[in-house]
Structure 1
Amino acid sequence: MITYEIPEILKKHEPIIKKTFRYSNEIHFKREETKPWESKLGGCPYLKNIKDYPMDEAGEPMLFLAQINLADLEKLDELPERGLLQFYVANDDMFGLDSPVLVRYIEDYEENEEHLLKKNPYENEEYEGNLPFSHSGKMYFKTREMPMSSSLDLFRETFKNELSEAEYEKLSDDCYSSNSRVGGYPYFVQNDYLGFDDDDFLLLQLDIDDECGIMFGDAGNCVFSIPKDALRNRDFSQVVYDWQCC
């Protein structure tokens, strides 16, 4: 597990910093073939029938961004222990920014490839051209203990009046929460338009990655978050989505 060591300059503020700690599962990508039920970036989602593939408001097949097999994750008690989470956005040149998104939870799944689709039925040159990555791949996870992200409005509310200017700058630099992850805190390239706070859970962040060529716009990333009470009720219609770039 990756742990956060509080710098000496901030030791006297250890209690307030530790109070913000969350666990995340940091994602690393490899360009590998995946089985239908595995954690993956792009490719073919877990599907039994082509009719199950979701369409956007324009009647176009949605872009399949990622699938998380929840059994791969650790120390994220808010999530179900098993099942699959699939992430879809509208198929347009803005990666579905202004359109409804779909996060599909599949609680029970089978591991029999004979009964499942092996290739994304809508993957063609036009579809691939609208994806925010150049290669699909398999996801690998590593647990991380992380303090609050300095890109959040909540970070400023929590620390601005508690720390000196030098201390605040040091903690801000340490809490630059980029990289792809499930759980923990998001990183917003520009502003925290989602107003992410203590009652929210980070379902997925996809950030710049060389292995699979992830890039939202100009050096950007995307965030899917959900209120914790909606997550407890397995109400994924409450997911909010944003992507930002430089």
Structure 2
Amino acid sequence: MLSESNQQKLKQAINKHQFGHAEAYLHKRARQGVRLSKHALEDYKHAGGSRIGGDPDLTASIEWPLDSSGMPMTFLAQLHLQEVALHDEALLLPADGMLYFFVGVDEPAYHIEHKVLYLPEEELHQVKRRCSPEVTSLEEVFIGYQAAARATIELPNFGYADEEQIEDEEHDYEQYEELCFELAATNSNDLACMFGYPATQHGDCEVEASLRLLTGKPYNYSVKAAMEEITAHVNGDSDKAEQEVRDTLLLLALDSDREVGFLWWDAGELQFYIRKEDLLAGNFARTYCSLYSS
């Protein structure tokens, strides 16, 4: 549900781009997101800021996460929530502290080994740069960039948009994308998105993540079969099953970026998901990671 100010902002953009025929649909499907963009190359002069790539700032007590083979995972990002949560208009993130994202081998593209860590704000004064191990799961060296956050309104992308709702005789998908880009203030420095729509062709990412997080079962690329499994898990309540999928959130999507060194298969996107109840409780021990590539 958009805030009142964002409802007005969306309405103005819809009028500007003449998408009044899809107004009800877009208000229902719009999400309040946070985007992260490259601000500057990281110089590591100050510990504790939001960063994508490079090395993390950790306390001495934090052990570097290992994958199932005992190999150190690859560090991806740290988000200082005092900086990021200011732009979280959906009020989902903790107000402070640090989130860390690590990943193991990114094959296959589903149920990827990973770790999301949370460090309380009161411990941040103890953090300092810790260089990544010489060899990590991905065997990649990523360039660190300071990350700047901004609030966005995220509309359904290609995999999620209902073309019958957004297109008419005078408006095609390219014009719809212009509306999307304006509301997200999309730019070439964008690296990541939180709480928006994941990149996909089929619009089933949250179904896959929800199935695994709730039941531990793998997704067989049948939405129908997955929803039957989720419905059985919630004692046959189909409405609750659908709500569980809606409450499976895109915690972070990391785009491919050659300057950082991220290249998820064929220039794809690495995605982390979390259940809404866990996020609101500050529980990052139960998350799901997958990868989309065209």
- TM-score bucket of the superposed structures, by smaller chain: 0.7 to 0.9
Single out whichever of 168-177 and 50-59 deviates more from structure 2.
Answer: 168-177
Aligned residues: percent identity?
21
**Where does the alignment leave 5 or more consecutive residues of structure 1 unmatched?**
none
With the length of structure 1 as denominator, give the TM-score of the two structures.
Answer: 0.78
Residue in 1 that maps onto 2:99: 85
1:204 paired to 2:217: no
Q: What do you get for the CA RMSD once the two structures are aligned?
A: 3.2
SS of residue matched to 2:25: helix
Question: How many residues were matched structurally?
Answer: 235
Rounded to whole Å, the distance in 1 between the matches of 2:168 and 2:259 is 38
User: Matches of residues 1-246 of structure 1 in structure 2 within 5 Å?
Assistant: 5-6=13-14, 8-29=17-38, 30-34=40-44, 35-49=46-60, 52-73=63-84, 74=87, 75-90=89-104, 92=105, 94=107, 98-112=111-125, 115-122=126-133, 124=134, 126-127=135-136, 130-131=139-140, 134-152=142-160, 155-156=161-162, 160=164, 162=165, 166=169, 167=171, 169=173, 173-174=177-178, 175=180, 179-195=190-206, 198-246=246-294
Rounded to whole Å, the distance in 1 between the matches of 2:102 and 2:111 is 13
Check conservation: 2:93, 2:279, Cα contact below 8 A.
yes
Distance change (3 Å), C-alpha of 1:15 and 1:93 = closer
Rounded to whole Å, the distance in 2 between the matches of 1:44 and 1:212 is 12
Q: If each structure's helix is expressed as a fraction of its own residues, which one has the higher value? A: 2
Give the partner amino acid of 2:69.
A
With the length of structure 2 as denominator, give the TM-score of the two structures.
Answer: 0.67
Rounded to whole Å, the distance in 2 between the matches of 1:193 and 1:21 is 17
Distance change (3 Å), C-alpha of 1:192 and 1:16 = closer
Distance change (3 Å), C-alpha of 1:96 and 1:70 = farther
**Where does the alignment leave 5 or more consecutive residues of structure 2 unmatched?**
208-244
Distance change (3 Å), C-alpha of 1:50 and 1:240 = same
**Deviation digits for residues 141-167 of structure 1, max 9, x if unmatched?**
122122233323xx44xx64x455555
**Deviation digits for residues 204-231 of structure 1, max 9, x if unmatched?**
1111334423321211111112121221
Rounded to whole Å, the distance in 1 between the matches of 2:276 and 2:36 is 21
